[in-house]
A = this chain, B = another copy of it.
Amino acid sequence: MANVLVVHGGGPTAVINASLYGVLKEAKEYQEIDHVYGAIGGSQGILEERFLDLSGFSQERQELLLTTPGTAIGSSRYALEKEDYEAMAAVFRKYDIKYVLMNGGNGTMDTCGKIHRACRESGIRVVGIPKTVDNDIAVTDHAPGFPSAARYIAQTVAEIGVDVKSLPIHVSIVEAMGRNAGWITAASVLARKKPGDAPHLIYLPERPFCEEEFLDDVKRLYEEKGGVVAVVSEGLRRSDGEPIVPPVFRSGRSVYYGDVSAYLAELVIKRLGIKARSEKPGLCGRASMALQSPVDREEAVVAGREALKAAVRGESGVMVGFVREEMKDQSYRMKIRMIPIEEVMLCERVLPKEYQNHRGNDVTEAFAEWCRPLLGVEIPEYLDFQEVYRERGGTE
């Protein structure tokens, strides 16, 4: 008999629990698998032997994982020491854990690779399940968690856009997650159904942020429209590489930043005398179940299943990856490819240049085409009688 251990690392996504569900589902296919344990509280949970047998829960209970935000088994940002990996290998042996599945982002994949090395000789197989809202994991087309974050920002910006357009008296600065990688910020473009729709401006962390250009853009658009929606990354930096909002506080290795959206709204008010406000959905953007992407949920389940499949067939030191298939009818299809963990460990994939527009205040159509199928649903078009009125040229 053999047991499976699932470990979650880093911040939650809208579908991290869906991957756990996938593992539980897949485990039922193998007679040799006895228990699927969850490590309670992330990698620290391994060292402290906090294991919960999840395979004993009813199917109904397990299915709740698909719509539960956060991580149902907890997570951690614990920095592991060299000796921890050896200690972990001993714990796995003690609990007859043959398959270790590490679900997380770049930091977790680094841990995954190191556990794999520590366990290489004991026959324990260690496989990574990708997870990140920021979409900054290398090699894979995208990672579970991002499509839901993308749908959230697109839907939210569409709604804010309609709100601002219907009472066009202010500039709304919407802050998106992703401190170094602008994938989520960029995904807001999918709110735009036709020219002129929000978002009117998109500022990515990959590009140095120029306050004067930003103010010029906002002023021009405000004079034209009255209401402007700008989406900004939480990690905007100046041309010298420093964050546009100076750190609030430093404590050891930790740095605490102020809110970019609040800072830029103040800038607009003070410099342009235009009413401005900030919206910072923050954690809502990775915890919203109503705006979970159905594609994301399905792919997260698949990622969990494929990770266990790979481990059972003998693979280790690999991460589940997605490769987008080129379909003749332009439809969306992913296939799975196991990626050697060395290729992703601590790499950080940012938004490539071809997805950024020339001025650095928008993204390209190529990005929108790449991103659109991940949302799994269309962003609705809304009724706008003000527009009808303008099109008809006035009162009937």
A-side interface residues toward B, CB under 8 Å?
A: 10-12, 17, 38, 40-42, 49-54, 61, 64-65, 67-77, 155-156, 159-160, 162-167, 169, 172, 248-249, 251, 254, 256, 258-259, 261-262, 266, 269-270, 273, 275-284, 286-291, 380, 382-386, 388-389, 392, 394-396
Give complex CA distance A280, B262 in Å.
10
Q: Can you identify 30 A-B contacts, CB atoms within 8 angstroms?
A: A40-B386, A40-B389, A49-B395, A50-B389, A50-B395, A51-B395, A52-B389, A61-B383, A67-B382, A68-B162, A71-B166, A72-B166, A72-B382, A72-B386, A74-B166, A156-B288, A159-B288, A159-B289, A160-B283, A163-B283, A164-B283, A248-B269, A258-B262, A259-B259, A262-B262, A262-B280, A278-B282, A284-B284, A289-B380, A290-B290
Least Cβ–Cβ distance between A49 and chain B, in angstroms: 6
CA–CA, A164 and B160, complex, Å: 25
Task: State whether B262 touches A52 (Cβ < 8 A).
Answer: no
Q: Which of B42, B53, B160, B383 is the one whose CB lies under 8 Å from A287?
A: B160
Cβ-defined contact, B12 with A166, below 8 A: yes
Determine which residue in A164, A249, A386, A396 has the highest number of CB atoms from chain B within 10 A of its CB, and name it: A386
A267 to chain B, nearest CB (A): 10
Q: Chain B residues near A278 (CB, 8 Å)?
A: 259, 280, 282
B172 touches A283 (CB 8 A): yes
B70 and A382 form a contact (CB under 8 A): yes
Q: Cβ of A53 and Cβ of B282 under 8 Å apart?
A: no
10 shortest interchain CB distances as A-B pairs = A70-B166, A279-B282, A290-B290, A159-B287, A70-B162, A64-B383, A68-B382, A71-B166, A163-B287, A280-B280
- Inter-subunit contact A386/B249 (CB<8 Å): no
The answer to whether B68 touches A167, judged by C-beta atoms less than 8 angstroms apart, is no
Question: Which B residue's beta carbon lies closest to that of A10?
Answer: B167
Q: How far does the Cβ of A377 sit from chain B's closest Cβ, in whole Å? A: 11
Residues of B within 8 A of A10 (CB): 167
Partner of A269, one of B164, B169, B249, B261: B249
Per the bound structure, the CA–CA distance linking A279 and B277 in Å amounts to 14
A266 CA / B248 CA spacing, docked (Å): 7
Q: Kindly provide the distance from the CB of A390 to the nearest chain B CB, expressed in whole angstroms.
A: 8
